[in-house]
Structure formats: C-alpha cells, structure tokens
Amino acid sequence: MNFSDDAIVAGILSNDLDEVIFYIYKHYAELISFNVVTMGGSLQDGEDIFQETVVTFIDLIRKGKFRRDSSVKTFLVSVARNIWLNELKRKKSGDQRARIFETSRGQIEQDIAENLNQRETREQLLSLMGHLGESCRKILTLFYYENLPFDEITGKMGFESEQVARNKKYKCMKELSDLIRKNPLLLKRIKQ
C-alpha cells in the first residue's frame, strides 16, 4: 500500500497506526539509520533513533505541530537528526563527566594517601619528640607547629635573649635529628 503525506497524517490522527507505521518503517527506516551512521553512530544507534523518531513524529502530529511546510520524509530526517545530535551531546557530556570523575578520583586518592602518610609521619615525629626533654618539646612545638617568631618564643620560654632561644632550638633539632637517624623508616618517609 502507498501512502501520501496527507494519508500518513490522517492515519495517525485517526489512530490507524499499524499500516502507517509499517509504511514509514519500510520507506524511511534505512534512510534514517544511514544518516545516523554517517554522523558517527552505529547501526544499533540508527535503529534506536529511528524508533524514537517515529514516536516523536506521531506525538508531533497529534499535537498539531507538523505544519506540512516540508514532506514527511524531510520532516522525519530532520527530527531524527535533532534526536541524534541531542544524543551525541548527552553522550559527550556523560563522557566528559566520567573523565572529570576519573581524573578527580585519582587526585582524591592521591591526596588521601599523601594525607595519611603525612599524618603517620607527624605521629612518629611527635612520638620521637616524646623522647626529648620538656624544654625541647616545647621550643620545637612553638617554632614548628605554632610558627612563633623567636622574640615570642624567648618570652614564653623565659630565655634571656633571642640568641639563647636560637641556640636551644638548634640543640633540640640536633637531638631530634639523631633520633630520626636511628629510625630508618621515618627517615625514608621524611625524605619523600
């Protein structure tokens, strides 16, 4: 059976879909699938887009949005092209999100590993600092963890001058360095 464009529209509007859809499939499926393949899709993509095109076409006719400015063939090809381009945008956006996720996931994993390593190193350093005297622990904590300048350290520790504070810090660092050298695992982590 042969349908004119008017007969296709009338068949859809009267819900006589079986013959109309069969006709559309027979005459336009291959063309639409071919167009999708030429725009980078697979044969499966072409079949899927054709199915979606027919559903969209029927919906547009029922809503009175097919104004017959073009032939049914031209309209179907145009609808299929728009559906495929939207699908490509969606896939590209999804691929981009996946790439961003993979990139950021690797960075997050690296940051977590680095953070854990730093935490373990800090804990081991604090443990070694526990082997130092009270005065050394306090001056190193004030200098390295609280980032205080020597004039404030001098006041807090009750030293006579900043030079005394510098000398004391130097001696404490030497003592801590000796403890670190005796702990090869910690020494290796600090050098990384």
**Can you say whether the dihedral through the CA atoms of 71, 73, 77, 82 is positive or negative?**
positive
Q: Give the C-alpha separation, 127 to 137, whole Å.
A: 11
pLDDT for res 163: 92
Angle at 115 between CA 110 and CA 121, to 5 degrees: 125
- Output helix, strand, coil percentages for the chain, rounded to the nearest 5: 80, 0, 20
pLDDT for res 106: 62
Give the tens place of pLDDT for each residue, 164-182.
998 998 888 888 888 777 7
pTM higher than 0.75, yes or no? no
Confidence of residue 189 (pLDDT cuts 50, 70, 90): low
Helix (H) or strand (E) holding 48: helix 43-62
pLDDT for res 158: 93
pLDDT for res 105: 62
Residue 138 has pLDDT above 80, yes or no: yes
Give the tens place of pLDDT for each residue, 57-105.
889 888 888 888 888 899 899 999 999 999 888 877 766 666 666 666 6
Q: Where do the H-state alpha helices sit in 130-161?
A: 134-140, 150-157
